[in-house]
Structure 1
Amino acid sequence: MKRVKRDDHREERIDMEILVDAYTEEERAMGWYYYLADTVKFPFKAQCIQEHHKSPLEEHEMVEVLDLSPENTCLREIYVDVQGNGQQLSVPLAQLKAISVDEDTQEALDDWHYWVGRGYGF
């Protein structure tokens, strides 16, 4: 994945709204988890934009994103539960692009893609 260009406005918003007072990996993970849980409107349609070694989804595959996976599975990466090809899976959110979602959901998903694209971790 190509490294995303730094966006100072987004960096400040993430620091002040999502990761404020988050000093450990677990605190940062939970900051992201609860931000996404509170902001993203589920379910929504999405397309796989890249293959991932922890997911069976193929590029361009369409799925319905049902919800965030349980928080204990999101301590290293944010996962979502999806329905696709007749099965329910838990896959990394970073490999999905939302289709026709509201503005708040899109911004939250863009925030996560930015975070991952910058190479940041928890």
Structure 2
Amino acid sequence: MPLTKKEIEEIIENEIIVDAYSDEEAETGWATYMEDNLNFPFEAEYLVRKASKPNEWKKVRIIESHTNSSNYEGGGYYLSALLEDVDMIIPVEIGELRNVEADEETLNTLQIWESKSKY
């Protein structure tokens, strides 16, 4: 079940940025929260851009975080997606995914990430 706005605010304020005294510390809090609360693998759709054909939404398997607390710079948070039909792993930004099929903790974490820009 999706989180309420109040639940999201409480998680952000009490778990993610609670001890942050600078933007850098807040960024570390966000990256750590994502690392701790995304459960892999899960599936989603990603818009694959093709050079010779029209772009196409493809089901991909998200296999791990591409971004972590050591390389997160406060922008997008990237995951590693396996494109099984071409046996290729590519980085994809969370906002580029749709129709995510994952456990409740992962879905909640993605919902919280969507609210990040307000903080």
Could you tell me the TM-score, scaled by structure 1's length? 0.71
Structure with bigger RCO (C-alpha 8 Å, 6+ apart): 1
Residues 1:25 and 1:77: Cα distance change in structure 2 (over 3 Å): farther
**2:71 paired with 1:77:** no
The match for 2:95 is: 94
Structure 1 stretches lacking a partner, 5+ long: 1-5
The match for 1:46 is: 44
The structure that is strand-richer by fraction is 2
Q: How does 1:1-122 map to 2 (within 5 A)?
A: 7-48=5-46, 56=49, 60-71=57-68, 72-75=70-73, 76-84=75-83, 85-97=86-98, 99-115=100-116, 119-120=117-118
Could you tell me the TM-score, scaled by structure 2's length? 0.72
CA distance in 1, matches of 2:27, 2:49: 24
**Partner-residue secondary structure (3-state), 2:115:** helix
Residues 1:25 and 1:56: Cα distance change in structure 2 (over 3 Å): farther
CA distance in 1, matches of 2:94, 2:108: 14
Query: Are the counterparts in 1 of residues 44 and 98 from structure 2 also a CA contact under 8 Å?
Result: yes
Residues 1:39 and 1:98: Cα distance change in structure 2 (over 3 Å): farther
Q: In the TM superposition, what is the alpha-carbon distance from 1:65 to its structure 2 partner? A: 0.8
Q: CA offsets, 1:65-89, max 9 Å, x none?
A: 1111142442122111111143211
Query: Are the counterparts in 2 of residues 98 and 106 from structure 1 also a CA contact under 8 Å?
Result: no
CA RMSD of aligned residues (A): 2.7
Structure 2 stretches lacking a partner, 5+ long: none
- Among all aligned residue pairs of Structure 1 and Structure 2, give the percentage whose two residues are the same amino acid: 27
